[in-house]
Every structure is written in structure tokens, then in C-alpha cells.
Structure 1
Amino acid sequence: MKKILLPLDFSKTSDNAFIYALEMAKLFKSELVLLHTFDLPIVDSQAMPINYSVIYDTIELANFEHFKEVMPRLRALAEERNLGHIAMSHILMDGDLVYNIKKVIQQENIDFVVMGTKGASGWLDSFIGTNTSAVISNVSVPVLSVPVEAQFKKIETIAFTTRFRDKDIEALVKVLLFAKKMNAKVKCLYVKTPDSDVSDEMIKKWEAHFEAEKELQFFIIPNENVKETIEDFLLNQDVDIQAMLTYKRNFFVELFTNTTTQQLSYHLKTPILALHE
């Protein structure tokens, strides 16, 4: 992993994601690419007969000056964590956030994206309908979404939910490689419902396939209520990162839409690692 992209909006949310991005860059010996995007206004030339370039140049300059003002604060955050040595580059672009992220991923050969998430009543509101969701759905690299309430600590446990499909094997291999860099263990969960189509033979096949992975545990929990079972698992197993495939996104969103206040307050602090098929 050579380059990590972090979109910034200079909020508390992106500051928190910045800390996670720094820690990821340290672990993977990566360069951190900071991206700030802004919108240019649509100007009616009849209502405002003024040179477009003057307006656009003024807005670009204002954003550039703001970017320069904020960078010392971010550098200070890095120094506080003894991460001032992390290589960082900066990109300032106008236009749509998702389009620009995709463009930078291609131009800069980005391997990984870290984004901050927040919502009016919880970060999942943002995850479901706004920028983070759009990025996860449209980019080709893994995305770590970091809720504003998360506080970085040593990542010791990564959860990976599976339905024992063939496509899950490759994703689990990626999660294991990610975990090894962090000296973390991976807990792979399958909730076996009464109408489950996963055979015991398939489960044993998976366990045999990953037999050499000493830091991997499989948890097969019989229960008809998948949502509550996974919620309890994440809480009771002290999960630090929840990894998932993007094809599970709708299921994942549904999973946490109707949680209790107590459970939601826990999930507010859990970063989500979205992988692609």
C-alpha cells in the first residue's frame, strides 16, 4: 500500500479521519495524499455581467489560502502523535467530490481511502445517503470510513461477516493481510438461521482452507435474528474495525438502522472497512 487518500473538509470529522489515515500510513509505510474539493458557483451572466474568470479565480484563491491556514494545524496533530515524519502531499480541486476522488485515485495510483463520517442523529445517516456512501459505491479501492466519535487505539480485533460465498474468500484474504500488518486477530462471523443454505461441509471446507491462519477464528452462531446477533457480537467481542464486502452494503445499512440507542452509541465508534468484489 503505497498511497492513502484522505478527503478533507477541515471539520472535526475529517480531523479525526486524518489521525486514522496517519496511523494507517505509519503501519503501511505509505504516503498520505490530502484532497480538498470545493464547488464553483453557477453564475447567470445576464443577471451578473461580470467576467467569470474573476469570480472563479477569487474563489480558488480563497480556498487555497484557507488550505494553507489549516495545514499547520494538521501538521501539529501529526507531531502530537509522533507522526510528523509521514510523507504528505496536497491536492486542491473544484467540482464534485466523488468524481474528483475517482480522478485522484487513478492519477495518483491510490491504494486506499480514509474518510470521516457523521450524521445528524448518527454516522449511519451519513453512511446511508451522502458522500461516504457514494464514494464506497463508486471507487475501486478499499475505503475506511471513520465516525467522528471514534478514538484511535491499537487495532486488535477485526470482524468480518460472511455467508461463505466464494467471493468472500478473496475478501477474507485481504482482511487477513490487513490484520497482519496490525498484529490483529480476525473474527469471522456467520449467523446460521433456520433457513440457512450453508452446509456444515462448506463451513468445514473454509476452516480447512484457512487452517494455517492462527489469528483467525470462525464463529457460527445459530439464531433467527441476524441483526441482533451481529450487534451483540460486535459489542461482546470488542471489535475495533468492521470489514464488509460492498455487496453487503444494503444488508449492513438495514442491520443498524433500527438499533437501540445504547447499541447505536457503540456503533458510532466503529470504523467500517468496505472492500470491493
Structure 2
Amino acid sequence: MKHALLVPTDFSENAWVAAQYAAELAKKYDWSIQILHVYQTFSRLLATQEFKDEVSKHNIAAAEDDMEIFYNRFKEAYPDIDSTAACMEGNLNDIVLSLIDENSIKFIVMGTKGASGLVNVAIGSNTYELIRHSPIGVLAVPANYGEFRLEKIGVLTNFKDNDIDILDEFIARTSPSLKVSLLHINEAARRPNSEDITFWKEKVMKALGSNEVTYHDYEMVNRLDVNIPITYAVERLVEDEDVDVLLVSYTRKSFFRNLFSRSLPKVIANNLKVPTFFKKVD
């Protein structure tokens, strides 16, 4: 079975940018594309069944018309990519998780609104739930993303094994030839010593079987739970190391746990300039 990218869409321009990114990724690795639109079931206690049926018919027709326009645009832009499109009624989170379980999906690729953060992503607030629960993570693409490139990946690290896990998983799904940059955010005057940095780099290189690993950190002045410094620090790290994709993982015991449970997607996605792979690692 050919591997596929699942691209949920609401037919917006943000979703179109994500579809374009997914198409370039699919071309690079010879994957197929599955474009999905999920619309909500109409439910109101006082409404008659006849009225509910009429609303449902309208929603189905509107979704199928919009999908036809979106999918025709996609096929015209990428005629050589094996692709399908579907509209489904129900809950986005449940449907996507079911499709992941039943199909060979490499990544869920979704659009964001950039400065608005992932909480207001193009396809709705359920994206946050997908990031929290998807067993394969979510690859979020900023609305202002430009020319496709995938040569170097960066991972926000706190010298924990789950950082290696997400690197290993991403590389296993893509290519072992990708360069890796370890990105660390320091609290004021708490920079790791050179011996710890060297040890961690060597451990990562050994685990990945790669010598293409660099390390870069950024010192924050304020607490790590202050949104603006976190955003600025991540932006600087991404720009300084010129990474093409940022990897962010978390566990219940991780460095990013509190940030994620409160607003990590919004914080990191704010003014994001590169696609970011969010993955919960248990």
C-alpha cells in the first residue's frame, strides 16, 4: 500500500498553503495525498426530523461543491500526484483518528493562521485535540510559508530521550540524510556546561547513526512560562540554525508540559515561519 499524507481542509487559503506543502512533500517521497473535509452533524432538540434532514442535505451539498472547486484546483496544480478527496459528516478528531488507524498515513498536514496561533487554525479548534491525541502527530504549516525545502530539521530539546524519539520517528518517516539541529532554550544563567552538550550531541548522533548534528541554544531573561520570550527564543533559534522543519514533543514529565497544557501550540505557532511537527511522546 502506498503511503499517504492526510490533509484536512476548510477550503481556505491557509488550507491551500498546507495542501501545497503536502504536495511537495508527497512528490519528494512518492506518497499519495488524501484531502479531507469534515462538516458537523446538525443537532437541535426542538427541531423536527424533517428540518434536520433538510439542513443535512444542504451541508452535504455545500461541502461537496466546495470540495470540487478545491480538489480541481489541486489536481490542476499537481496532476501527477496520486490523490483522493472526501467529505465526511461528524467529528473531525474522531474521523481523523479512525482514518489513521485504518490507513498508511505518514503525516497529518494542516494549515495555521500564523500569528493567530494554532488555537485558531484554518480547520477549527479541533486541531489542538489532534495534536494532543494523534498517534502520528500533526505537521502544521504556517499561512505565510514560501518555497518548499526539507534538508535540515530542528528539535526543541531539553536533553531527554523523548527528543531522540521524535527525531528518530520523523527521520524514519522521511530520510536518514536530513541534517539535525538541537535547539535548547536556557533560563537566565543556566546554560548547560560544554561537557553535557558534547555528551548529548554524541548520544543523539549515535542513536540516529548520523554525524550531521549541531547544537544551538538561546538564553531567556524571564521565566520559561512567559509567552513572548518563548516565542522570540524559538524564532531566533529557527532562524539562526536555518531549519526547514521544527520538531516539538512533550510528555507528562517533559520540560514543555506546562507550556503545552496551557498554550504551547499558540505560543510556538505565533509568527511561525517554518512547518512544525507536534507530537505527543508517551
TM-score, normalization: structure 1? 0.79
Could you tell me how far 1:229 is from its partner in structure 2?
A: 4.1
Distance in 1 between the 2:116 and 2:238 partners? 17
Q: Is the Cα–Cα contact under 8 Å of residues 117 and 265 in structure 2 kept in the other structure?
A: no
Distance in 1, Cα, partners of 2:179 & 2:189? 30
User: Is the CA contact (8 Å cut-off) linking 1:123 and 1:147 kept in structure 2?
Assistant: no
Q: Secondary structure at the match of 2:50?
A: coil
CA RMSD of aligned residues (A): 3.3
In the alignment, structure 1 residue 218 sits paired with structure 2 residue 215:
yes
Q: Which digits, 9 at most, give the CA deviation of each residue in 1:186-243, with x for residues without a partner?
A: 2112234467596755433332231552321123556655635443222223332211
Give 1:110's aligned residue: 105
Q: How many residues align?
A: 262
State how far apart, in whole Å, the 2-side matches of 1:67 and 1:151 are.
24
What is aligned with 1:251? 259
Gaps of 5+ in 2: 225-229
Q: Which amino acid aligns with 2:211?
A: K
Q: Distance in 1 between matches of 2:108 and 2:265?
A: 24
Does the Cα contact within 8 Å between 2:182 and 2:214 map onto a contact in 1? yes
| Partner residue, 1:96 | 91
Amino acid at match of 1:77: A
Q: Which residue identity is paired with 1:215?
A: E
Give the direction of change, closer, same or farther, for the CA distance of 1:196–1:270 in structure 2 (3 Å limit). Answer: same
Q: Structure 2 CA distance, aligned partners of 1:49 and 1:164?
A: 57
How far apart are 1:98 and its partner, in Å?
Answer: 1.4
How far apart, in 1, do the equivalents of 2:248 and 2:55 lie? 44
Deviations 1:106-163 (A, max 9, x none): 22232310001116x5235526x92322211121113110111112322333221111
1:120-199 to 2 correspondences below 5 Å: 122-126=116-120, 130-177=125-172, 180=175, 184-193=178-187, 196=190
Q: Using the alignment, how far apart are the partners of 2:242 and 2:193 within structure 1?
A: 28
Q: Which residue does the alignment assign to 2:227?
A: none
**Do 1:155 and 1:241's aligned partners in 2 also have CA atoms closer than 8 Å?**
yes
Structure 1 residue 38: Cα displacement: 0.8
Distance 1:15-1:250 versus aligned 2 partners, 3 A rule = farther
Q: Which amino acid aligns with 1:243?
A: L
Q: Deviations over 1:154-182 (max 9, x none)?
A: 2333221111112222222234446636x
Spell out the pairing of 1:8-87 with structure 2 (5 A cutoff).
8-44=9-45, 48=48, 50=50, 52-78=52-78, 84-87=79-82
TM-score (norm 2): 0.77
Unaligned stretches of 5+ in structure 1? 79-83
State the 4+ residue runs in structure 1 displaced beyond 6 angstroms.
none
Give the share of equivalent positions with the same residue, in percent: 24
In structure 2, distance between residues paired with 1:221 and 1:71: 42
The 8 Å contact of residues 249 and 280 in structure 2, kept in 1 or not, is answered as yes
Structure 2 CA distance, aligned partners of 1:98 and 1:133? 9
1:237 aligns with 2:241: yes
- Measured against aligned partners, the alpha-carbon deviations of 1:38-79 in whole angstroms (never above 9, x if no partner) come to 1132245x654736445433432342233223321121222x
Q: SS at the partner of 2:65?
A: helix
